[in-house]
Structure 1
């Protein structure tokens, strides 16, 4: 039984039975049998507890070296599954550190203790961009029920709400594949809470991400140059984008997310400084945006190149959202931008079954490039009203497409 669970398998659950494939063959077994196999396999996992490597867990002592030693032992061990244990009832203070691969086999990290960043000060040394980094790892599972605390309030104050102030991202995944992260709560990052860069096959589930609504640039999840990403059953309420999808994002699915406060779910910004940006296959389904400054937003700079296409938003609820549906090809947060003719091409975007309330008069804004425009924009089953029962409207610049069953009507869509 254990040997079978060590192999790469495909399975489908059908009426309590599992169709299981390994090698070149298929076999039907009971779901109960698969559970037993999993439990037996996990019982054979090799465990590495950070307390056995010198961690104190008192919330005051720097436990970075103990974690580094525990990671080296976990990553270097040969077994089917290795578990790095961060035990409950402890608080671990960690300086900026990197967990690097490749490792000899798959790793499970159980975060049941509280992880704390240092306060802004000399403990950060030269590192001001990242706190905890996982790099170059294949087949990594991170699960737990405790918190990852970026302790970013001092950074927010010293930066005085400026966008270009250097602050650390709390948790970064880079150059990795087959990642699964679930169950954790992320709070008060100095900048982004979670960043994913150059990764493939990532599943994020049951995460809770919090920061004050006025905390600057505290994005929930920031993704770039990555593909095959799933975000499921997640709550994000921060001071910036709940999810920001940047250039190089392909095949990203967001399902059952609650977002707000914050700046909504954003594709972009794309094309800054003439960048050749490419985004394709973004799908947001069965999600809620609550009191966010924007809802579903695509934002690009003038002068960019590339494309954003094959994008769908389906079954989305708005609750007191300032700008529920936005395409903005004139994105310029500092109001010092020159008008340019080139733009990222936006096409094949659909909004199906989006409804709820807005706290502004403009429910739908489709401001596309005057020279490039947006093509094949589809809206169907839209029902957005104002919280004060005043009239709401739709505005467009050079947007091409169709609409049906929409309130407000989108007569500006050509």
Structure 2
């Protein structure tokens, strides 16, 4: 029985290998190797990638762009739509960025509808040298690992983004995108390596994934609406940040954020909302944070007021940023600072409709309940609340 089983596995493996090796003979499969790509990690394959994409994008039937096993170097490349049909971009191997690559983008998908990005492969930004140069050269000089600009109805599943030079994944102006079972990682000491940044987008789901970075794990900027985040393991980084609210003229609201069944381990923050001390009107509303575990998190719940990282704010002007209708439910675990909850709102614009239900956060060092600091919060309490020092 054992020999038959092993023989079957060998046969299946040979079939898969043969399929990949001869993918150019299969209708609708566009193997980058047959457009000039070389899997040696040295030859720049950007033109080969783009050639495969261009031909697949023009195909009226089903089409799969295949990056097979191996390591492929690629400079910046933009995959643009619209295409004649929905495309599958299957990356099995590893794509690496040049160490000295500069610019806004590395891998970019634009105006594409119905994209599926999958395959279990990896995008490696090779960012370690860039992190040491960002202060001297400026953050804007370095590219994002993967951008999605104005894409709709996409599924991003089973891929990894590692060691980005700047942000890992940036989502702008998109609708109905699902990120499922992805891995996003960079060392805790890396600079500005946000995991997923979302802005001006609606209907975005992030689920069943690991995100650990040197900055915000997930950043939800203005215009983020109907966002669903669930079953995420957060490692190093700054947790989930919503903001920075009130920093842009005529910025769109953040609305309809749901975060459920996530675990934060060793992050700087759990849930953070940044409000600039600003005369610009902005608001965030209808947010639910539920069933969250905090393991050794410095600040599990943090609402900054005022947020002024550059020291250029005019504090005589009352902030016009409004936070309303927020639910914190069943959040428990340990924090590494005495201040587990900081919820700072303003006299001129208090936070309203804030509900706390079953909060249990302990100071890791003493084993005692940690502290909470609040101002101008109109809250509704239910269940057990620890710490309760400001409610």
8 A Cα contact 1:395 1:410, kept in partner: no
Matched residue, 1:384? 361
Q: 1:91 aligns with which of 50, 71, 78?
A: 71
Deviations 1:87-139 (A, max 9, x none): 11x1111111100000000100110011000111xxx4xx5111111000000
Matched residue, 1:294? 269
Matched residue, 2:377? 399
8 A Cα contact 2:204 2:226, kept in partner: yes
Distance of 1:369 and 1:204 partners within structure 2: 36
* Deviation at residue 334 of structure 1 after TM alignment: 3.0
* Deviation at residue 69 of structure 1 after TM alignment: 0.6
Aligned length: 364
CA RMSD of aligned residues (A): 1.7
Q: 2:55 aligns with which of 48, 73, 90?
A: 73
Partner-residue secondary structure (3-state), 1:110? strand
Matched residue, 2:4? none
Distance of 1:161 and 1:221 partners within structure 2: 25
Partner-residue secondary structure (3-state), 1:410? coil
Question: TM-score, normalization: structure 2?
Answer: 0.90
Q: 2:344 aligns with which of 355, 358, 367?
A: 367
Question: TM-score, normalization: structure 1?
Answer: 0.85
1:322 aligned onto 2:295:
no
Q: 1:351 aligns with which of 328, 337, 355?
A: 328
Matched residue, 2:10? none
Matched residue, 2:142? 167
Matched residue, 2:282? 306
Distance of 1:165 and 1:336 partners within structure 2: 21
Q: 1:342 aligns with which of 319, 335, 352?
A: 319
Show the 5 A alignment for 1:12-411. Answer: 46-79=28-61, 81-88=62-69, 90-120=70-100, 124=101, 128-160=103-135, 164-274=139-249, 276-303=251-278, 304-339=280-315, 340-388=317-365, 389-410=367-388
Partner-residue secondary structure (3-state), 1:252? strand
- Could you list the runs of 5+ residues in structure 1 that have no partner in the other structure? 1-42
Deviations 1:38-97 (A, max 9, x none): xxxxx9861100011111111000111111111100101111x21001111x11111111
* Deviation at residue 167 of structure 1 after TM alignment: 1.7
